[in-house]
Structure 1
Amino acid sequence: MFWNQFSSEKLEELEGIILSTLRTPYTTFHVPVELKSGSEEIWTISLNSESKKTPLVLIHGFAAGIGFWCRNLDELSKDRPVYAIDLLGFGRSSRPTFSYDYNEVEKEMVNSIEVWRKKLNLEKFHLLGHSMGGFIGTAYTLCYPERVCHLLLADPWGFSDHLNEKPSFWSSIIFSLVHVRPLEFVRAIGPLGPWLIQRGRSDIAAKFEDIIEDNSVFPNYVYHCNAQNPTGERAAYSMIWGYGWSKNPMLLRIDKLKKDIPLSLIFGSNTWMDISIGEKIKDLRPDCSVDIKIIDDTGHHLYSEKPDVFNDIVVTACHLHDKTSDVNENEIGENYS
């Protein structure tokens, strides 16, 4: 179709270029899942799947896909299996029609991950989510605590209680733009969509310029991830209220999280997310393991801005909470330079 420039072949090609930067052998495949919406498919990458250590599962943020983890997958999979997925409605996963009810959307996302887990026969795993993926990962852990041995949240969205919190200046500005829904505009302008993403989000390419020479690859990957039928995007908007608040914030539920599940929170020092939720979670879970790390000179996409530091935090935290680990549970410094 001329007007909408989306091409599944182009998305596959761009993802292939991004994943070609990996040194570790990997496999990508669709996992078929039977849901209320019918037969769906969740796009998956796996690395080091033969390892007997506890796996790590990665969930991306809004408008992203598995390619966003390209600076992390090698290090994270050095001594354990790693799986990353495109959430339903995003990337190369199928595009079901979600409910318009925010509670139902959350349940549908959580259920899809559980069906995916059963298909891959993963008994227990570390679960890492970025931004919206942190919200979905926490919702999954609340529903299936027996499957998650350790929850890691990278700059998570959806925790702040909108009744008791005022947004920061920058979060107010950024989330005011949510109501404009810029990706709808990108799709509406047809042939100019890829150009606009490349010009408007050149910062994305800058985060990967040392490993991907062609600075058009990542912006075009973002375009082709989001130029399709935006069912996941619309589902995400159904969960958002006001200045980007969650309609069912996690701070009101985090005390229900099983007490023996350790929680690791990783923030960028310059993020527009609410870093204070870390200490609030500690207060709500006084007898539980809650570890907070802040990576200096990084923003919301901290995993790609300082990947070496981010990877080290995640690897160390996973070792600490492996069921078979002999590492003693000691505090690691609060800030990383």
Structure 2
Amino acid sequence: MQDESESEGSGSGYGWWPSWRPTSMSLLKNTEAKILACIQNDVWARFVTLPTQDRIWTLTVTNKRLSKAPEKAPRTPLVMVHGFGGGVGLWIRNLDPLCRSRPLLTFDLLGFGRSSRPLFPSDPAEAEERFLDSIEQWRRAQGLERMILLGHSLGGYLATSYAIQYPERVSHLILVDPWGFPERPQPSEEEEGSGGQRSEVKRAPLPRWVKAVASVASLFNPLAVIRAAGPWGPGLVNRFRPDFKRKFEDLFDDDTMTQYIYHCNAQNPSGEVGFRALSESLGWARRPMLGRVSLLAPSLPVTLLYGGRSWVDSSTGARVAELRPPGTTRVLVIEGASHHVYADQPGEFNAVVEKICDGVD
């Protein structure tokens, strides 16, 4: 299943964090292995080394039945990009269903999960380009000519930017509760009392963990509190993200998923620093993507999937559709799902994505 002949290293320059944090890359590796053991199909897990010598932790999942069937014309692979603070393990409900008819690839973004953790620039354009360069170098190393590109949250922001810069590589762009699209509204006096949100915008209330992270994000890296808490860090994740245990409770009857989230984010910060460079605040981007969607290839099909109970405003999808040529953009809302649509309503999510993929080839 795995090819890990290369040694694991963090590749970062943040050695001043306390050594009393109960985490390590080995613990992350072991927790992730428990999650990936649920996959029923063929998995190839390995580090992909880029020309920069950064390494991107990558999974390729293929239908084991198709590998024994007569050869057919290869189908466009599906590439899935996780959001802020995530990693490949969070797709565990989606990997088997979505590899039925085509190869599925997913990777830990540079600076996150088990991928290398280099220094990121503080300039938002330069930080964004650092992420995009790593994705393009990864694609070249994989030999992918074209792909169906799916991104969740921060991954949706980066996937859109990538599709603008490399239009010939993307057959269909799927954005799942994408972060960083609308411009931050300027509150009027009437809006001040409602937290600066426009009265006509209807959002689900921000989760407790979002408010907690936002309270420190302006002073520190967004997840610094998890690292600063030392041995109490895992307890903080369990307290503020109990939903992750519930989302996967039929797969794991323990704290496997919250431990995974902890170990992904208790390592030395890197991609988190890059995210902070992109962010005006936790919920808003310094370079909002809504102002750039018109730069997407006019013929590129785009589907935006939102959770009906998410704190991300789904009305932004309608604005994306207005800014693009007619008939090229669809907006779907999956009821009963929060921001993590793929885990809250995996059956409906997988069915929608599979239908999109089948429409490509």
Aligned mates of 1:179, 1:105 — CA distance in 2: 23
Aligned mates of 1:255, 1:163 — CA distance in 2: 20
Aligned mates of 2:282, 2:252 — CA distance in 1: 35
Q: Sort the Cα spacing of 1:242 and 1:189 in 2 relative to 1 into closer, same or farther, 3 A.
A: closer
| DSSP 3-state at the match of 2:171 | strand
Q: Is the 8 A contact 1:59 1:129 kept in 2?
A: yes
1:296 maps to 2:335: yes
Aligned mates of 2:241, 2:99 — CA distance in 1: 29
1:89 maps to 2:111: yes
* Counterpart residue number, 2:90: 68
Q: Is the 8 A contact 2:298 2:325 kept in 1?
A: no
* Counterpart residue number, 1:202: 242
Of 106-115 and 179-188, deviating more is 179-188
Q: Sort the Cα spacing of 1:185 and 1:243 in 2 relative to 1 into closer, same or farther, 3 A.
A: closer
1:315 maps to 2:337: no
Aligned mates of 2:96, 2:242 — CA distance in 1: 25
> What residue identity is the alignment partner of 1:207?
K
> What residue identity is the alignment partner of 1:101?
D
CA RMSD of aligned residues (A): 1.9
Aligned mates of 1:258, 1:53 — CA distance in 2: 22
User: Which of 21, 35, 40 is equivalent to 1:23?
Assistant: 40
Q: Sort the Cα spacing of 1:213 and 1:25 in 2 relative to 1 into closer, same or farther, 3 A.
A: farther
Q: Is the 8 A contact 1:159 1:246 kept in 2?
A: yes
Aligned mates of 2:28, 2:207 — CA distance in 1: 33
Aligned mates of 1:2, 1:253 — CA distance in 2: 42
> What residue identity is the alignment partner of 2:273?
R
- Cα offset, 1:244, TM superposition: 2.1
> What residue identity is the alignment partner of 1:142?
I
Q: Sort the Cα spacing of 1:172 and 1:17 in 2 relative to 1 into closer, same or farther, 3 A.
A: closer
- Cα offset, 1:318, TM superposition: 1.2
> What residue identity is the alignment partner of 2:259?
N
1:262 maps to 2:276: no
* Counterpart residue number, 2:183: 161
* Counterpart residue number, 1:330: none
| DSSP 3-state at the match of 1:79 | coil
| DSSP 3-state at the match of 1:251 | helix
Normalising by structure 2, we get a TM-score of: 0.84
- Cα offset, 1:191, TM superposition: 1.1
Alignment of 1:1-337 (within 5 A): 2-35=19-52, 39-48=53-62, 52-163=74-185, 167=197, 170-171=205-206, 174=210, 177-181=213-217, 183-214=223-254, 216-242=255-281, 244-320=283-359, 322=360, 325=361
| DSSP 3-state at the match of 1:43 | strand
Structure 2: 5+ residue runs without aligned partners? 1-17, 188-195
- Cα offset, 1:90, TM superposition: 0.3
Spell out, residue by residue over 1:38-65, the C-alpha distance to the aligned partner (whole angstroms, 9 max, x if none). Answer: x100000001186811000000000000
Percent of aligned positions with the same letter in both sequences?
40
| DSSP 3-state at the match of 2:330 | strand
> What residue identity is the alignment partner of 2:120?
F
Aligned mates of 1:6, 1:145 — CA distance in 2: 39
| DSSP 3-state at the match of 1:34 | coil
Aligned mates of 1:220, 1:34 — CA distance in 2: 32
